[in-house]
Structure 1
Amino acid sequence: MSTVEGSLEFEDRKLYTKTWKTDGPAKARVAFVHGYSDHCGRYGIFFPTLASNGIEVCAFDQAGWGRSVQKPSERGLTGPTSRVHADITAFLNTLIPSSVPLFLMGHSMGGGEILTYAAMGPADTRQHIRGYLAEAPLIGLDPASQPLKLVLTLGKLAAKLAPNFQRTDKLKADYISRDPENNQSIVDDPLCHDTGTLEGLAGMFERADLLESGKLRISEGRGQGGRTRMWVSHGTGDRVCSFDATKKFCDREKKDIEDFEFKVYDGWYHQLHFEPSPDRETFANDVIEWILKRTDDTTADEGVQPKL
């Protein structure tokens, strides 16, 4: 396994990218979208384990996060949903057409982003995606991390007046995982700055509301071969993103998606990929198994037109 660093360049900014390469020919490729106050370099054994099992991982630090931030004023400048989706599209377009099946995966905020992308992203890009994987997606906040409704309402209003105004909200480190060393490493990581902008935060919660309320539906026809293949995972002990909101979403969406799996991890916290061993290995193996079962999907190239 080896890694390759790079960048995704726009006229006004540059996003840091990193790829975990397989030793031999890849069987599949995962495009990964990280969560809030996170970056693609913080996934421990997860990406190397996928790569050692023939699954290449391609990830990037979202605008406003990680090594894509060049100065403090850029922290949290994720932008509205239109820009978030445009960044994901630009990243995916560097990978397609892919010689092996391409999957789109996201964690937490990134999980919510890939779910809304499955519903709203451009059809000519989605038709290359073999399947979607959401880890502890932000569909609703757990009550332990839920800000007051008044704060959310005022924040949405203020975002229109001062979209780039920065707000720092630190999550309780012991909510992240059941591994104290991992939680402390987040506190000590300067790239996990906990600083969002009003516009970015408003977009994040608007996406969550669309998913939780059912105003945005995914349904069939959102991926390669005119099919939707989806794997959603969540721990019942998550005190950051609401397990109940995710379950409600899954109960609704699985009625319209034939290849849909909701994987529940009893008692696990928010970062499933960083839970104590052997749980983190179990999670990685579950992801690997789901992906590899779909690399030889005979319906993938049937030519069914994807839905717009």
Structure 2
Amino acid sequence: MEGFKNKDENFEIKSFFDSMARVMPQGSVYKDVPHFINENGNYIFCRYWEPKTPPRALVMIIHGAGEHSGRYLGIASMFTKHSLFVFSHDHIGHGQSEGKRMSVPHFRVYIRDSLQHFDMMVNRYPNLKVFILAHAMGGTIAIYVANERQSYIAGVIFIAPLVLLNPESATPAKMCCARVLYHIMPNLTLGYIDPQWLSRAQKEVRSYENDPLNYHGPYRMKFTVLVLQAVAKLEKVLPTITWAMLILHGDADKLCDIRGSFLLYKKAASSDKTLKIFNKCYHQLHREMPRVTAEVFQLIGKFKVQTWSTEDKNYSSKEKKSLNFAIVRTVKLSAFAIITPLKLTAPPGVCTCDVKHGDPEVAVGSTSILPRGCAVEVPLEYINEKSLD
């Protein structure tokens, strides 16, 4: 019939005209920016950083509470330089997405929207694996997302993930009171986040304070309880985790309990997992003092190379050989040991050993003597196995 539109076409037309009329919280119109519509009809603002060369993998960035995806430009730029396609979105009620600020009916909404965006990109690039980089509450979301899409995951990078309830502030009595108040006074104000807790770098603190897309209001009872309930359920999920992971946490973090990162590392069934603790560092390691941030970026890049060396199916055997990938593992020395590079095929940067109390560098072609109890990370072919347990 002439002029007839099927159901899908009608939906697309309606969505197009809706997007022309829907105004973002900051006043712009959604038709002019990347976005998707979630199951509740909310418009979710997206960001995409596409590499200049064909992408070898995807990276999903999941931001934390009260911030937005635009604060990850530096990390995204690092990934695109290595031919990774980066995508992210502002959670509902955050940044440039619709929704009441910092308010959702269920924590599952964050997970559901992230899965929707994840699936959109996997459908667009069906042959590419996906890395996830997540910060704070984004780490909570990432665990659920990655666990429901394990077969697609190349690895997950956590920066100060929210995994564990603080035992001092989340006693059984306090949690019981919180659940009661959640129903009686859901909008009860609990307090504000002190920007000084985010980073030791005052430049970064001012950046956070002056960013109008960040949430600078009070955290309320309903939101806090929903987050705590989601975190409380994580412990049952952790033993089912099998994907590779890199966990980075500052030991002076006042917002996400560092013991959660230790728990994640201990409980996860992954065979490829690394935990790095940064001394005297705060919450946002990717926006810390320049030396710390540089090390964070280096570790993320190194993790990507290591993961690809064993799992990335997008490299042919010929490509892997030409790139001289080396399989890396962590070993613990029980006595003085000699690590002798026998081959000179490792890529740049892989020959650096992460050794506690000194971090000496093992130079190509040299012999290094390392003390008892060191945890060393080196390519397998560089290890004199006789020196190890």
Q: Normalising by the residue count of structure 1, what TM-score does the alignment of the two structures yield?
A: 0.80
Larger RCO (CA within 8 A; separation ≥ 6): 1
- Once residues 153 and 207 of structure 1 are traced to their aligned partners in structure 2, the CA distance between those partners, rounded to angstroms, is 15
Give the share of equivalent positions with the same residue, in percent: 19
Task: State the Cα distance separating 1:243 from its structure 2 match.
Answer: 1.1
Question: What are the equivalent positions in structure 2 for 1:1-308 lying under 5 Å apart?
Answer: 5-10=33-38, 11-69=40-98, 74-97=100-123, 98=125, 99-119=127-147, 121=148, 125-140=149-164, 146=169, 152-160=175-183, 165=187, 167=189, 169-193=191-215, 194-196=217-219, 198-211=221-234, 214-220=235-241, 227-253=242-268, 256-298=269-311
Q: CA RMSD in A?
A: 2.8
**Which runs of no fewer than 5 residues in structure 1 stay unpaired?**
221-226, 302-308
Whether contact under 8 Å (2:157, 2:246) holds in the other structure is: yes
Task: State the Cα distance separating 1:115 from its structure 2 match.
Answer: 1.7
Task: State the Cα distance separating 1:6 from its structure 2 match.
Answer: 0.7
Task: State the Cα distance separating 1:244 from its structure 2 match.
Answer: 2.2
Q: 1:235 to 1:186 in 2, by over 3 A?
A: same
Q: 1:79 to 1:47 in 2, by over 3 A?
A: farther
2:92 alignment partner, SS class: coil
Q: 1:161 to 1:300 in 2, by over 3 A?
A: farther
**Which runs of no fewer than 5 residues in structure 2 stay unpaired?**
1-31, 315-389
- How many pairs align? 279
Counterpart residue identity of residue 110, structure 2 = V
Counterpart residue identity of residue 242, structure 1 = D
Q: 1:238 to 1:248 in 2, by over 3 A?
A: same
Q: 1:69 to 1:152 in 2, by over 3 A?
A: farther
1:96 alignment partner, SS class: helix
Counterpart residue identity of residue 257, structure 2 = S
Task: State the Cα distance separating 1:130 from its structure 2 match.
Answer: 1.8
Q: Deviation string for 1:268-298 (max 9, x for gaps)?
A: 2110110121321221221122123323534
Q: 1:148 to 1:298 in 2, by over 3 A?
A: closer
- Once residues 265 and 166 of structure 1 are traced to their aligned partners in structure 2, the CA distance between those partners, rounded to angstroms, is 35
Q: Normalising by the residue count of structure 2, what TM-score does the alignment of the two structures yield?
A: 0.64
- Once residues 216 and 298 of structure 1 are traced to their aligned partners in structure 2, the CA distance between those partners, rounded to angstroms, is 23
